[in-house]
Amino acid sequence: MKLLVKLCGKLIKLLLIALGLLFVVYFWNLDQKLMAWAYKLVNQIFDRKKQDLNF
């Protein structure tokens, strides 16, 4: 019984930490900031490539 209570306590603590991290990401909009950084990096890479499109 003690083992089950300990396990449930650790599970709840882990879930609360995950919820806190998700709230921080949501509150400061960190996912969109990360994607904006990634788009800039990808655009830099592809802007250097020579284009072979002919119209």
Structural domain spans, the chain: 2-47
DSSP designation for 49? S
Q: Phi and psi dihedrals of 6, rounded to 5? A: -60, -45
Check residue 49 and give its pLDDT. Answer: 79
Check residue 23 and give its pLDDT. Answer: 97
DSSP-derived 3-state class of residue 25: helix
CA angle 32, 29, 23 (to 5 degrees): 130
Check residue 47 and give its pLDDT. Answer: 85
Model confidence pLDDT, tens digit, residues 1-55: 999 999 999 999 999 999 999 999 999 999 999 999 999 999 998 888 787 777 7
